[in-house]
Chain A
Amino acid sequence: MNKTVTINISGIIFHIEEDAFDKLSKYLGTIKGYFSKTDGGSEIMSDIEARIAEMLQGKTSAIKQVVLMADVDSVIETMGKPEEFAEGAGETSSNNEEEEYTTTTEGVKKRLFRDPDHKAVGGVCSGIAAYFDIDMIWVRLAMFLLVFFGGLSLWVYIILWIVIPEAKTTADKLAMKGEKIDINNISKTVKEEAQQFKKRAEKFGSELRDQHGNVPKNFFEKVADFIKDFLILFTKFFARIIGLILLIFGVMFMLGLISSVFGFSIVGANTELNDWINLFFMERSHYTLGLIGICLFFGIPFIMMIYGGVKLLFKIHYSNRWLNISAGIFWLIGLITVLFVGISTGQDFNEVGKVKEPVQLNITRDTLHLSLADSKELYEHLNVKEEDLEDYDSHGNHRTRRGGHSDDYIVAKANDKKFIIGFAKLNILPASGDRFEMYVIKKARGTDKRAAVERAKNIDYKLNATDSTIKFNEIFTVTANEKFRMQEIDVILKVPRGKVVFLDKSLVNIIYDIENTTNTYDADMVDRRWIMGQNGLECIDCEGLDFDEEEFYKQQHLNPPPPPGTPAEPGAINVHAEDAKVNIDKNGIHVKSKDADVNIGENGIHIDTKGEKGNKGEKGEK
C-alpha cells in the first residue's frame, strides 16, 4: 500500500505515488532552473510539461490509474536528464558556456560544492568563490596567504576537500552557482519554513480537536510530530550558527594543538626540554609516541568539530562513512597510545622509597654553627651558573633562589654526563638523648618500593661537620643517566635540650618550616641563635625580631587594631603616618613605629625596641 498524491500537469489530473511525485517535481524543478532565464523559458517549460502529461497519460488507464516510480523513470529517460538538456541548450543557443551557467541558475537552491572545472588543486577555492559569488582569485589568494603565512595549515584545506562534495552533475554545478544568498533570500526561506510550520501546527490543532478524547495513542503521536516539526524548524535556524561556532572553535583548538605539539617536538629538541624528555620517559620513543597519541586523541575531535561545523554551515548532507570510521579508529589508537605512555611512565612513579642515612657527628661544643658550604667549586664542576639557581617567584615578579622549593630541579652537565640537580631541605627537631644527631633522608620514586629505594641511594648529597660547625650544601645531585623520579633530600638535625644552634644567613634557602615556640617564619630565623627548650626551639637573641602580632594579641587578651582604612570604633582614635601608627581605644594606647612599639593597657606598659635589626620586620608590617 502506498500513499498517492493528486497532481495537475497541463490541466490533466494524475494520481501519482508519493515517492514518484517527489522525483518528478524535483526533475521539473531542475529543468525549470535551466530555462528560467532563457528566452521563452516558461513556454519551453509548459511545452515540456504538456509532453510529460501526454506520456503519463499513455502509461495510465482505467485499470492502472496511478503513476508509478517506473513511469516517472521512463518519462525522465525519454525526456532526457538535466545535464543532457544543458548540452542541448548550449548547442542551440549561441551563449557561451560560462554565460549559460550564470543565466540559468535562478530558482536553484545554492549549495557548496567543489568546482572541478576551475580547480587548481581540489576545486575548494573555486567552489567557495562560487558559493559566495566572488572572484575565485581572491579566495585562492586568501587561502594561499593563510596557508603559508597565516598559520592556517594545509589540513584545513584537506578537511574542506574531504567535506565538500564535488559538483559532478550539471545539476550540482547549477546548485553550486545557485540563487544568490542575500538577506532577501534568507528571509524568504525563513518565512516559507515558518509558514509550513504554522500550517502543520494548525493542522495539528484541528486534528487534536477532532480526536480529542477518542484516540489517546494518536494524540501522543501528534504531539510527537508537533515537537519533531518544532525541533526541525529550530535546528534549521540554529544549525548554521552552531556550525559556525564549531568551525571557529575547532580551528582555534587545532591551531593551539598544532603549535604546542610543533613547539614541543621541534623547538624543544634543542633546549633543556630535550634533557627532561630523556630524564622523564622510560625511553625516548615513549615521548614521540606520547606526542603522536596526544595529536590523535585531541586532534581527531577537533577535526571532527571542523568537519561537522562546515557540514552544518553549508548544509552539506552527505556523510562520509569511511571518514567517520577511520576517525574513530585513529582516535582509539590515540587513546591507547596516550594510556600506554601514561601508564608505563606513571608506573615508575608508583611507590616512594626512602633511605635514612645517619651522619656521624662529633659535636663537643654547646653551640653549633650551621651554615652553607662554599659551593663555588662544585658549581664550577657541574657547569652551573649562579643564575641557573634562581628563578622567578610564583608571582613572576622578581627572581629568587630556587632553593627551598622541593619541586624545583635543574639539569646540569659535567664531563659529558647529564645530572639532575635538586634542592635540599633542612629541618631541626628536638633530640631524644643529649647528643646532636643528624640524618640525611633520601627519597625517590619507582615501580615498587625496592626500585625506589635503589634509586634513592643514587642521590649524592654532601655536608661537612666539625666539632662546632656543620656546613650544608644547597643542592644535591643524582647520578648520571638516572631518570628523574622526584628525588628529594631532607636533612634532619636533632638538637638535644639546652643546646644552642646558630643559623647562618646563608641557610635562608634550605631551612624549611622549622618549628619554634614563637612561630617565627623561616626567613626570620636566620642570623640568630636558638636554644632547644621544653617546647622546642626558643629564640635567644630575638629581642629585635618582630613578634608574631596575632600571637601577641592573643597572649595579651587584646583586640588587634583594625587594619588601616577601616572606620574606627566610636570614641577611638587612629592615626596612620608613613612609618608609624597610633591607636587609642578602650583597650589602651598602642604606638607602632619603625623602631619601637609601645603598648599601654590594662596589662601595663610594654616597650619593644627593634634597634638596628628593624629591617627584619617584614612580618610585622602585615
Chain B
Amino acid sequence: MSVNSENTKAQMRKGVLELCILSILSQGDAYPTEIIDKLKETKLVVVEGTLYPLLTRLKNTGLLAYRWEESTSGPPRKYYKLTEIGEQYLKEIQQSWFELTDIVNKTIAPKNS
C-alpha cells in the first residue's frame, strides 16, 4: 500500500513540477541551482536530474529564455527567465490550477468548503 501511495505522490509532484518552475521564475530570474533549492523546500523534487530535461524542453517551446552570467565561485550560470509567452502560459495554467484545486478540494473534503 505504501508503495502505491509513494508512486501516486511522485506522479502528482511531477504533474505540478512545470507549474512550480514557471511560478518560481515569475518571481524573478534564477539559475537551476536556485530553482532546485526552492523546489527542495517544497519537497517537489527528489532527484535533480529530472529538472534539466524539463527546463530545456520549456526553453525549446519558447516559454523560457536564458542568459549566461559569470560566477565568482564556479562555472558560468545559466539564468532562466519567463518569456512573454511563458507569462501568458503561466497565467493560464495558474488559472486552471486554482479551478482544479477548488474542485478537487470540494470533491475530497466537501464539508470544509
Residues of A within 8 A of B (CB): 9-12, 31, 35, 38-40, 43-44, 47-48, 50-51, 53-54, 57, 78-81, 84-85, 88-89, 91-93
CB of A40 within 8 A of CB of B56, answer yes
CB of A79 within 8 A of CB of B56, answer no
With contacts A40-B60, A78-B47, A84-B47 taken as known, whether A48 is within 8 angstroms of B52 at the C-beta atoms is yes
With contacts A44-B56, A47-B32, A51-B32 taken as known, whether A11 is within 8 angstroms of B75 at the C-beta atoms is yes
* A43 cross-chain contacts in B, Cβ below 8 A: 56
CB of B74 within 8 A of CB of A57, answer yes
Count A-B contacts at CB 8 Å. 80
- Please, how many angstroms separate the alpha-carbon atoms of A48 and B48 in the complex? 9
- Please, how many angstroms separate the alpha-carbon atoms of A80 and B52 in the complex? 12
Counting chain A CB atoms within 10 Å of each CB, which of B33, B57, B78 scores highest? B57
Chain B 27-57 interface 0/1 with A at a Cβ cutoff of 8 Å (1 = within):
0000011000000000000111110111111
* A12 cross-chain contacts in B, Cβ below 8 A: 74-75
- Please, how many angstroms separate the alpha-carbon atoms of A43 and B59 in the complex? 11
CB of A10 within 8 A of CB of B56, answer no
- Within 8 Å of chain A (Cβ to Cβ): is B9? no
Would you list 20 pairs from A and B whose C-beta atoms are within 8 A, ordered by A residue? A9-B75, A10-B74, A11-B76, A35-B53, A39-B56, A40-B59, A44-B53, A48-B49, A50-B76, A50-B77, A53-B75, A54-B75, A79-B47, A80-B47, A84-B50, A85-B49, A88-B49, A88-B53, A88-B54, A89-B53
- Please, how many angstroms separate the alpha-carbon atoms of A43 and B54 in the complex? 12
CB of A53 within 8 A of CB of B74, answer yes
Chain B's nearest CB lies how many Å from the CB of A170? Answer: 12
* B53 cross-chain contacts in A, Cβ below 8 A: 35, 38, 44, 85, 88-89, 92-93
- Please, how many angstroms separate the alpha-carbon atoms of A79 and B47 in the complex? 5
Q: Which of B49, B55, B60, B75 contacts A79 (CB 8 A)?
A: B49
* B76 cross-chain contacts in A, Cβ below 8 A: 11, 50
- Please, how many angstroms separate the alpha-carbon atoms of A528 and B110 in the complex? 127
* B49 cross-chain contacts in A, Cβ below 8 A: 31, 48, 79-80, 84-85, 88
Additional A-B contact list (16), CB under 8 Å, known A51-B48, A92-B53: A10-B75, A35-B53, A39-B57, A39-B60, A40-B60, A43-B56, A47-B52, A48-B49, A50-B74, A57-B73, A57-B74, A80-B49, A84-B50, A85-B49, A88-B47, A92-B50
- Within 8 Å of chain A (Cβ to Cβ): is B14? yes
- Please, how many angstroms separate the alpha-carbon atoms of A80 and B50 in the complex? 8
- Please, how many angstroms separate the alpha-carbon atoms of A154 and B76 in the complex? 60
Counting chain A CB atoms within 10 Å of each CB, which of B74, B76, B77 scores highest? B74
Chain B's nearest CB lies how many Å from the CB of A447? Answer: 70
Q: Which chain A residue shows the least CB distance to B56? A: A40
Count contacts on B: residues with CB < 8 A to the other chain: 23
* B33 cross-chain contacts in A, Cβ below 8 A: 51, 54
Chain B's nearest CB lies how many Å from the CB of A67? Answer: 14
* B54 cross-chain contacts in A, Cβ below 8 A: 88, 92
CB of B60 within 8 A of CB of A44, answer no
* B52 cross-chain contacts in A, Cβ below 8 A: 44, 47-48, 51
Helix, strand, loop or mixed for chain A's interface? helix
Chain A's nearest CB lies how many Å from the CB of B64? Answer: 12
Q: Which chain B residue shows the least CB distance to A94? A: B57
With contacts A47-B78, A54-B33, A54-B75 taken as known, whether A80 is within 8 angstroms of B48 at the C-beta atoms is yes
Q: Which chain A residue shows the least CB distance to B50? A: A88
Helix, strand, loop or mixed for chain B's interface? helix
CB of B46 within 8 A of CB of A80, answer yes
Chain B 6-33 interface 0/1 with A at a Cβ cutoff of 8 Å (1 = within):
0000000010001000000000000011
* A91 cross-chain contacts in B, Cβ below 8 A: 14
CB of A93 within 8 A of CB of B48, answer no
* A54 cross-chain contacts in B, Cβ below 8 A: 33, 74-75
* B14 cross-chain contacts in A, Cβ below 8 A: 88, 91-92
With contacts A48-B49, A80-B50 taken as known, whether A92 is within 8 angstroms of B57 at the C-beta atoms is yes
Q: Which chain A residue shows the least CB distance to B48? A: A79
Chain B 58-102 interface 0/1 with A at a Cβ cutoff of 8 Å (1 = within):
011000000000000111111000000000000000000000000
* B75 cross-chain contacts in A, Cβ below 8 A: 9-12, 50, 53-54
* A80 cross-chain contacts in B, Cβ below 8 A: 46-50
Chain B's nearest CB lies how many Å from the CB of A617? Answer: 98
* A50 cross-chain contacts in B, Cβ below 8 A: 32, 74-78
Chain A's nearest CB lies how many Å from the CB of B9? Answer: 14
Chain A's nearest CB lies how many Å from the CB of B54? Answer: 5
* B77 cross-chain contacts in A, Cβ below 8 A: 50
- Please, how many angstroms separate the alpha-carbon atoms of A84 and B47 in the complex? 8
- Please, how many angstroms separate the alpha-carbon atoms of A85 and B53 in the complex? 9
Q: Which chain A residue shows the least CB distance to B78? A: A47
* A88 cross-chain contacts in B, Cβ below 8 A: 14, 47, 49-50, 53-54
- Please, how many angstroms separate the alpha-carbon atoms of A9 and B76 in the complex? 12
* A40 cross-chain contacts in B, Cβ below 8 A: 56-57, 59-60
CB of A85 within 8 A of CB of B74, answer no
Q: Which chain B residue shows the least CB distance to A47? A: B52
- Please, how many angstroms separate the alpha-carbon atoms of A39 and B62 in the complex? 13
* B57 cross-chain contacts in A, Cβ below 8 A: 39-40, 92-93
- Please, how many angstroms separate the alpha-carbon atoms of A92 and B52 in the complex? 11
- Please, how many angstroms separate the alpha-carbon atoms of A38 and B55 in the complex? 13
* B48 cross-chain contacts in A, Cβ below 8 A: 51, 78-80
Chain A's nearest CB lies how many Å from the CB of B33? Answer: 6
Counting chain B CB atoms within 10 Å of each CB, which of A39, A44, A85 scores highest? A44
Chain B's nearest CB lies how many Å from the CB of A27? Answer: 10
- Please, how many angstroms separate the alpha-carbon atoms of A31 and B50 in the complex? 11
- Please, how many angstroms separate the alpha-carbon atoms of A40 and B56 in the complex? 7
**9 closest pairs, A vs B, by CB?**
A80-B47, A88-B50, A80-B49, A10-B75, A40-B56, A47-B52, A79-B49, A50-B75, A54-B74
